[in-house]
Amino acid sequence: MHKQISFGKKVIYLIPSVVLLLIFFVGPVVLSLYFSFTNMALTGSNASSLRFIGLENYKHMISDPTVKKAIINTLVFMVGSVAGQTLLGFGFAYMMRSCHKKVRKVVGSIIMIGWIMPEMVAAFCMSSLFHDSGTLNMILEGLGISGVSWLYTFPMAAVIIANVWRGTAFSMLAYQAALDDVPSDIEESSKLDGANLAKKIYYIILPTIKNTIMTNTMLITLMTLGSFGLIWIMTGGGPSGKTQTLPILMYIKAFKNSQLGYGVAISIISLVVGVIFGVFYIKAAGKED
């Protein structure tokens, strides 16, 4: 079937992508890896004498309680966001299948608002929603319930909700496309066989869209892992580090505490976490192929 392509040609075709990868991916990663083994600093005597300090930064990380806390926060933020976005995205996509076209359009565009807004704007919207004298508390007050200082009392929940609000549209789009591929004849025959909604979703729909679920989950995971702006604007990682995820901690260590080398080491850790999840998803998705 296939014509044999000569080895030389293969190499030529590969060169552009390899060069791009080297410049924009491998280069920065290697450089970061090197800096993470140094005492690089923003100011102070360390800034004038860059020194190789071996695994010092990584050793310090093990005993640093803020890193431990940040890893836990990152996982909570990620799991919360992935679960919320997947459930809501799938839920909306499924329900909208049987809706009238007009309803689909209206509901769809409302959900899309969060996604098309720039991160900055979305974060400010969410801040003003959860602020002490913000929209949410005003509504509660109107109902006779005294409000809570959301960003202070439930900061992690607030940022997760904000992230889910922003990301649901993306999942919804992915699931809408996937659900269109579910053969209607199988669905109908399952109905004749007496399958209820739960059974239909579990036995028919989920297996059909399994790969979309995987891809979608992986994309959300990686997007959430690197999420910075939303949390930074809403809580700044506070109160007292309760929403400090790895990217936030990296920024604070590098640019607020002036420890650039240490900050870079933390970013390497988040890279490793990302790669672990990535590999895990690829393995999981690959089984079916």
Residues near other proteins (CB under 8 A) are 21, 24-25, 28-29, 41-48, 60, 63-66, 132, 149, 151-152, 211, 214-215, 218-219, 222-223, 225-226, 228, 236-242, 247, 250-252, 255-259, 267, 270-271, 274-275, 278-279, 281-282, 285-286, 289
Closest to other proteins by CB, 96 vs 173, is 173
Distance CA 175, CA 9 (A): 39
Closest to other proteins by CB, 82 vs 96, is 82
In whole angstroms, how close is the CB of 256 to other proteins at the nearest point? 5
In whole angstroms, how close is the CB of 54 to other proteins at the nearest point? 15
Helix or strand holding residue 60 (H, E): helix 56-63
Distance CA 130, CA 125 (A): 9
Alpha carbon 122 to its chain centroid, in Å, reads 15
Closest to other proteins by CB, 190 vs 212, is 212
Closest to other proteins by CB, 182 vs 222, is 222
Q: Answer whether 223's CB lies under 8 Å from 278's CB.
A: no
In whole angstroms, how close is the CB of 139 to other proteins at the nearest point? 18
Residue with tokens 């929209």: 135
Give me 161's structure tokens: 């909700």
Q: Could you check whether the bond before residue 239 is cis, i.e. omega within 30 degrees of 0? A: yes
Closest to other proteins by CB, 124 vs 152, is 152
In whole angstroms, how close is the CB of 190 to other proteins at the nearest point? 26
Closest to other proteins by CB, 124 vs 228, is 228
Closest to other proteins by CB, 76 vs 219, is 219
In whole angstroms, how close is the CB of 47 to other proteins at the nearest point? 4
In whole angstroms, how close is the CB of 126 to other proteins at the nearest point? 15
Distance CA 68, CA 62 (A): 8
| CA Rg value for the chain | 24
Q: Residue 78, class by beta-carbon neighbours within 10 Å (0-12 exposed, 13-18 middle, 19+ buried)?
A: buried
Helix or strand holding residue 46 (H, E): helix 45-48
In whole angstroms, how close is the CB of 83 to other proteins at the nearest point? 19
Distance CA 149, CA 281 (A): 38
Close Cβ partners of 158 (under 8 Å, ≥ 6 residues apart): 126, 130, 150, 151, 234, 235
Closest to other proteins by CB, 151 vs 169, is 151
In whole angstroms, how close is the CB of 45 to other proteins at the nearest point? 4
Give me 1's structure tokens: 């079937």
The 3-state DSSP class for residue 179 equals helix
